[in-house]
Amino acid sequence: MEESMRDGMLLDLNYSWDGCIEPIDDVQMCQALTTNEIRSDINSESNVKDPEVGMTFPSWDAVDSYYHAYGKQRGFGVIRAAVSYKQKGGTSTREKRAGIWRCDCWGKPDKRRVSKGKRVVVQSPIQRSPTNKTTSSKKCECPAMVYAKPNKCNEWELCTVVLEHKNHTPTPSKSRHIPKYRNEELNKSNVARNLFNANAAGVSIAKIHRTLVMERNGFENLGVSERDVRNVIDKKRRLKMEGGDANAMLEHFDKMVADNQNFYHRYRLDDDGNLKDVMCVDARCRAAYEEFGDVVSFDSTYLTNKSELPFTNFVGVNHHGQTILLGCALVSHEDVETFTWLFSTWMLCMNGKAPGGILTDQDAAMRKALSVVMPQSRHRWCIWHILKKFSEKLGMYSNYKDFKSELLHAIYDSFTEEEFEKNWTSVIMMYELQENQWLSGLFDEREMWVPAYMRHLFWAGMKTTQRSESIHSFFDGYVSKTTRLCEFPQQYSYAMEVRANEEKEADANCWKYTRTLLTAFPFEAQFRDVYTDAKFKEVQVQCSRVLYVTPLEKRVVGDNVVENLLEDIVYTRTKKKREEIATMKRRTYCVWFDIASHESGCECKHFECYGIMCRHLIKVYYMYNVEHVPSKFILRRWRKDIQRKHMVVKVAYHDLSKTAQVQRFDKLMVEFERVCLKASLLDVNIHTCMELIQLMDLRVEENNTKFYESARAGHPSSVTPESTSNGVAVTSASANRSLNYEVVPGGTPNPDQSTPCQGSTMRTQNETASTSKGTTSHSVGDPVLWRKKKGSKGGVRLQSAAEKAISKKKKKSSTNEQAEW
C-alpha cells in the first residue's frame, strides 16, 4: 500500500511539474519525496493544484492565499502586482474588482529605484555613472502570473494564467530561502514562542537557532534562518519600547500592581518630564523585611545599564543564610540628594522601620544621606569593597605582596581594638607607609569597617566577601549593561522567581533530610531539631572545635557567677580557601557563667555577631552538666519550624504581558506535548492522532464561527476570546497613578505624609498638571544620557533610547512594491 501511495505521489508530482521546470534527477526526487512525506500530514499546502483558467474562489483573499500556497509549493515568491477597485460617483471604493499576482522575479531591475523612502517604478532606465557600484537584483522579467476578477455569480475566477517561469528555475527546496515563507513558518509554529522564552532566559540567538536546527534534523527541514530569529526578537523589543523605554517599564509596573496591590514602586521626573530615578519593591520583599530586616546591605557598584542609570539594591539574609532582595532602584546620580530620596522612599515602603545595621561602600554621599534618614542604624563599610581597592591604591609599591598579607593579618586576626591598632601601626612603621594618605584615611575611619570594632553587634555574617559576591551573582544572567528599561521588570521577575524557588527547596530539604551528629553534646541534637540545615552546619563547626578548648582557671567574681578562663587555638581565613583553618597560635578567652540562672557570656562575641553559639559557651555548659540550650541562644531568624509571612505571600513571577489567548495556548501546549510523546512510540498512533486533530479542528472552527456570528448580531457570548479583567485592572492602576501627591522636581518625599504605599508612584508637578488637563495615559520621557568629556566640567547630551529608535526607523522607512492599476 505504501508503494502504491508513493507511485501516485510521483505521478502527481511529475504531472504538476510538466511544462513548468526542467526535469529533475532521481536524487532530487527522493529528497522532495522524503520532505513531502514528512510534512504531508501536517501541511495541506503540499498538494496544491496548478492554477487553471476558470478556477473559482469565494473571495479575493482566497485567491491570494491559494497563489501564495502554490508559490510556496513550487519554490517562488508571490507579489500582488496590481489591484483595482470599483468606483461610485467618480470616487474609488474599497471593493475590489480585479487583481494580478505575479512571481516576485517579475520586472526589470533598472526600472525600480528608491524615491523619498519608497521603491517606485520608472519608465526610463536609471542612468548610472561609471563610479557607481553595481547592485544585484532578483528581477529577471519572469512572466508567471494569474489574473482574477469576480464573475456573474460574484465568485472570483481566474481569467489569465501563465505557469511558465523564465530566466530562473524555481524548485520546492528554494521556498525555505524566501523571507515571506520563513515568516509564515515562524507565525504558524511554536518556534517564535520558544525562542522568545529562550532569549528571555539569557540564551544567545546563535544557540537558539542551532537548537531549532537539531530539533528539525538539519537545515533543510527548518525554514528559519538565524537572521530571521534575530529580526523577530528585535521586532518584539521595538514594539515594547514603541511609546518610550521608560513608559514600557512603568506600564509593566502597573500590571504588577494590578496583580498584587502590595507591589510598591516610586519614580521621579526631571523638569523636562524625563525619567530620573525609579525604585521598586515587590510584596514578597516587603514581607521578608519584617523577618530579616535587622541587617541590610546596600550596593550601588554592581553595574550601570544601557540608559546610564546605576543599578542599586537592598539585600538581606534569610534563615538559610541565603541572599534575599529587599528592594532595588535605578538612580540617575550618586549624590546626597538622590540617596536621601532613595533611602527615604525605601523607609516609607517599609513602614518607617529602620534596620539595626546597614553595610555600604565608602561613598561619602551615602554616609551623609544615611545620617539624615537612618540616624539610629549602625552604618558600616563593607570590607569587600575596601580590600578590592588594595591593588589600585597600593600596587605601585615593590613590596606590595609582603605588607598586604601583614595588613590582612592585622584586619582579620586582631581580637580587640587595642590589638588591631598595635598590629596596624607596626606594619605601617615596618614598611614605611606613613606617607600614604589612603591608608591613613582608613585608619582614621577604622570604626567604620574593622571587625574588631563590630564584634558586639549582630551582622548575620554580612561583613565577609561572600555576601557582596552573592548579590553580584543574584542578577548575573538576568540583568546586564545592555538591559533596557522596558526589559528590566521582566528580568527582575525572572531573578526573583529563581531565588524564591531556591528558598522553597531549602525549606523542603530541611524537613526531608536529617544531618548526622558529629559529637555527643546534647546541644548539637537540640539545634538540629530547630535550626535550618545551613545554620546547623555552623553549629556543628563550633561543636567540633570544642576538642581544642582547654579549661585553665575558674574564678568566683560574685554571687553564683564564675569566670572561666579557656585556652583555644586561633583560626584564620586564607586567600585561596574560604573556610577557616587552624593555626598553632593560642589565645585565652574569658566566659562568665551564672550557676543559678544558667546565664552566660563569652568575650569572643561570636554569638552577638553571628547569632551562633560559640564553642567556648558549649564547653562551659558541658562542664556544668547543663543539658538544655537556654532559650536566648535559639534565635527565631534561624529556625525552620516557623511559618513565615513572605513564604505565603501571593506573588506571580510570570510574564504579565501575556494575554489570555497566550495563556490558553501555553496550557494547551503542555497537554499536547504529553500526548505527542506517547503517540511517537508507534506508527499506528500517528493515524489515530491525525483523525482526532482533524475532528478537533472542525469543532474549534465551529465554536469560533458561532461566537463571531453572535458578536456581529449584537449578542456576544459570555465566553470572550480575550479576557478583559487584566485591561480593567491596568486601567484602574493607571488611573490611581494620577491621584498621588505632587513633589518638587529633585525634592524628597515627606515620610510623615499620609500616602498609601500600595501601588503608589511619585510624579513631578509637570506630569500632574498634564494629567489634570484630561490626559488619561501617562507619558514619561526616557532618561537623558549625559556623558562627561575628559577635561571639561559639563557634559554632552545623548539621544534617549526612544529617540534612537525613531531616528533609526525614519532612515529605514520603506513600503511594499505596488503599481497603480
What does the DSSP assignment read for 583-640? EEEEEEEEEEEETTT--EEETT-HHHHHSS--HHHHHHHHHTT--S--GGGS-GGGBS
- Nearest CA-CA partner of 366 in 321, 411, 307, 310: 310
What are the contacts of 599-606 at 24+ separation with CB within 8 A?
Answer: 599/630, 600/630, 604/415, 604/455, 605/455, 605/456, 606/542
Cell numbers for 541: 563547626
Q: What are the grid coordinates assigned to 564, written together?
A: 572561666
* Beta strand residue intervals within 5-151, DSSP E: 56-57, 78-88, 91-103, 112-115, 118-121, 145-150
Q: How confident is the model at residue 182 (pLDDT cuts 50, 70, 90)?
A: confident
Asked if 662 and 307 count as a contact pair (C-beta separation under 8 A), the reply is no
For residues 673 and 281, the model is more confident at 281
Q: 195 is written with which cell numbers?
A: 525562542
Query: CB–CB of 784/270 below 8 Å?
Result: yes
Q: Is the pLDDT of residue 142 over 80?
A: yes
How far apart are the C-alpha atoms of 735 and 337, rounded to whole Å? 29
Count of all residues that appear for the chain in the document: 821
Q: Considering the chain, what is the average pLDDT of its residues?
A: 75
pLDDT value at residue 378: 93
Average pLDDT estimate for 425-438: 92
User: Tens of pLDDT along 518-541?
Assistant: 999 999 999 999 999 999 999 999
488-512 and 533-544 helices, crossing angle to 10°: 60
Structure confidence at residue 160 as a pLDDT band (50, 70, 90): very high
Quote the cell numbers at residue 64. Answer: 491570494
Does residue 217 have a pLDDT over 90? no
**Which residue has better confidence, 200 or 371?**
371
- Using DSSP's 3-state secondary structure scheme, residue 497 falls into helix
For residues 514 and 27, give the distance between their C-alpha atoms in angstroms, rounded to a whole number: 65
Q: What is the DSSP letter of 817?
A: -
Q: How does strand 550-558 pair with strand 580-594?
A: unpaired
Cα end-to-end span (Å), the chain: 51
- Lowest-confidence range among 355-359, 412-416, 558-562, 723-727? 723-727
What Cα–Cα distance (Å) separates residue 718 from each residue in 380, 702, 703, 722? 60, 16, 13, 11
CB atoms < 10 A from the CB of 763, how many?
23
The 8 Å CB, 24+ separation contacts for 500-504 are 500/284, 500/651, 500/653, 502/322, 503/318, 503/320, 503/322, 503/324, 503/647, 504/647
Quote the pLDDT of residue 766.
Answer: 33
| 115 or 262, which is more confident | 262
**C-alpha torsion angle, residues 608, 611, 616, 622 (rounded to 10):** 130
Instruction: Find, among 285, 326, 323, the residue nearest to 469 by Cα.
Output: 323
Q: What does the pLDDT read at residue 439?
A: 93
pLDDT of 220: 67
Nearest CA to 409 out of 392, 424, 430 is that of: 424
Distance (Å, whole) CA 354 – CA 122: 74
**Average pLDDT rounded to a whole number, residues 422-431:** 93
β-strand 561-573 against 580-594: which pairing, if any? Answer: antiparallel
Strand 323-330 relative to strand 357-360, pairing: unpaired
pLDDT tens digits, residue range 232-255? Answer: 776 766 555 454 667 777 877 887
* 579-596: average pLDDT: 90
> How many Å separate Cα 117 from the centre of its chain?
37
Determine how β-strand 295-304 pairs with β-strand 310-317: antiparallel
Residues 331 and 340 sit within 8 Å (Cβ to Cβ): no
- What 8-state DSSP symbol labels residue 417? H
Q: Quick one: CA torsion of 318, 289, 339, 258, rounded to 10 degrees?
A: 120
Sign of CA dihedral 99, 104, 108, 112: positive
User: Crossing angle of helices 191-200/226-240, nearest 10°?
Assistant: 70
pLDDT of residue 372: 93
pLDDT score, position 614: 95
Q: How far apart are CA 464 and CA 469, in angstroms?
A: 9
Q: Taking the model in full, what pTM does it have? A: 0.62
Report pLDDT digits (tens) over 689-740: 888 888 888 888 888 888 877 776 765 444 444 443 333 333 333 333 332 3
3-state helix, strand, coil in the chain (%, to 5): 45, 20, 35
In angstroms, the CA 351 to CA 337 distance is 21
**Region of poorest pLDDT, from 139-143, 270-274, 432-436:** 270-274
**pLDDT tens digit string along 3-48?**
333 333 333 333 333 333 333 343 333 333 333 333 333 344 458 8
pLDDT, residue 11, reads 30
In this predicted structure, the answer to whether residue 122 has a pLDDT above a threshold of 70 is no
pLDDT tens digit string along 537-580? Answer: 999 999 999 999 999 999 998 888 999 999 999 888 766 556 78
| Cell (9 digits) for 435 | 606617607
Residue 1 has pLDDT above 90, yes or no: no
**What percentage of the chain carries pLDDT values higher than 70?**
67
pLDDT at 658 over 70: no
Segment 57-61 mean pLDDT: 91
* Residue 582: closest CA among 548, 534, 605: 548
Which of the pair, 745 or 344, is modelled with greater confidence?
344
What one-letter code names the amino acid at 290? E
If you average pLDDT over residues 454-476, what whole number do you get? 68
- Higher pLDDT: 623 or 117? It is 623
- For residues 189-210, give the mean pLDDT: 70
630-645 mean pLDDT:
91
Q: What is the pLDDT of residue 602?
A: 94
